[in-house]
Amino acid sequence: MSLERIIQGSIAVLLGGKSAEREVSLQSGATVVAALESLGLSVTQVDPADTDWLEQLAHVDVAFNALHGPGGEDGVMQGVLAALNIRYTGSGILGSALAMDKIRSKQLWQGIGIPTGGFVTLENDTNWQNVIDKFGKVFVKPACEGSSIGMTSADNAADLEAAFRLAQEFEGEVLAEQFLSGPEYTVAVLGGKALPSIRLETDNEFYDYEAKYLSDDTRYHCPSELSAEEELEIADLALRAFDSLGCSIWGRVDIMRDRKGVFYVLEVNTIPGMTSHSLVPMAAAAAGMDIAALVRSIVELSLEAQS
């Protein structure tokens, strides 16, 4: 059955918003709009930064959520759409909220035995030297931001406190996560299945905002050069981490591998980027899906789950 018959009227694409990831969301939204229009759908673009955005949703039956960060990816917008009886793409309220909160995600994974790096929640009165003594080098990040925004590294007490002050400028708590030395991978999830993994290489210290969205020097390896057995292992780990948070439909799981070959889950993204540099479209292409097919699948899976 065609999407035109499933969706009566127009589909709204939520994009932009007010988070620190607004510019990325505008790019993701533009990609989704073009894909939906190529599928023959009438598309309305809705930016929650507009004062009348709720009025713009008055006659919308389905929303493709392309918002990144707080307010769009953390369960808030999902709750608004549910209250308005508007069907939407991606994870529900609980999965969105848990995945956005890196501290609660890691606490849950530790509790059920999913490998994730050691961490500590930072406070104003934290003993900075004790953290360095325990973990050595750490990455400091806001607990409820994405795209590596506000994230810096520290290997001494002075730099750790400075990194904390920077991360404090963003929403939510702040955590210091144990530095893991080794290759970084990402695994896209679609409809309960893992797509081919991607190995990331950057000349930056880590896969930061510049490496993700601005640099043309970041290298993406897909296939990721893992053995068939290792590919099954990383896919299983990604699906367990994704499912454990109550996430559904689609998303992306970021994973590090240490020098001993052990995989560790970093975080789950429930609304990954859909820009020209984004990883889920890349993984989908490796599985034989272009952008239009990927977007169509996300919409169909979401509507099926909410029918």
Whether 267 is catalytic: yes
**Confidence at 2, pLDDT banded by 50, 70, 90:** low
Catalytic residue among 19, 96, 147, 244: 147
Lowest mean pLDDT among 207-211, 234-238, 253-257, 258-262: 207-211
Mean pLDDT for all residues in the chain? 91
Tell me what the mean pLDDT of segment 281-291 comes to. 95
Whether 243 is catalytic: no
Cβ(200)–Cβ(185) under 8 Å?
A: yes
Whether 213 is catalytic: yes
Q: What is the pLDDT of residues 140-179, one digit of tens each?
A: 999 987 656 778 999 999 999 999 999 998 878 999 999 9
Tell me what the mean pLDDT of segment 189-205 comes to. 88
Catalytic residue among 101, 273, 278, 302: 273
Please say if the pLDDT value at position 237 is more than 90.
yes
User: Residue 93: phi, psi to the nearest 5?
Assistant: -65, -50
Please say if the pLDDT value at position 230 is more than 80.
yes
Catalytic residue among 19, 267, 296, 302: 267
Whether 215 is catalytic: no
Catalytic residue among 88, 207, 209, 213: 213
Whether 296 is catalytic: no
The pLDDT value given to residue 219: 86
Whether 147 is catalytic: yes
CA angle 192–197–198, rounded 5-degree value: 140
The structural domains of the chain, ordered by start, are 3-90 (3.40.50.20), 118-178 (3.30.1490.20), 181-305 (3.30.470.20)
Catalytic residue among 254, 257, 264, 302: 254
The pLDDT value given to residue 6: 64
Catalytic residue among 16, 17, 19, 21: 21
Whether 23 is catalytic: no
Please say if the pLDDT value at position 211 is more than 50.
no
Whether 201 is catalytic: no
58 or 242, higher pLDDT: 242
Catalytic residue among 22, 199, 252, 296: 252
Please say if the pLDDT value at position 30 is more than 80.
yes
Q: What is the pLDDT of residues 71-93, one digit of tens each?
A: 999 999 999 999 999 999 999 99
This prediction has a pTM of: 0.91
Determine whether 76 is exposed, middle or buried from the number of CB atoms within 10 Å of its CB (0-12, 13-18, 19+).
middle
**Confidence at 10, pLDDT banded by 50, 70, 90:** confident
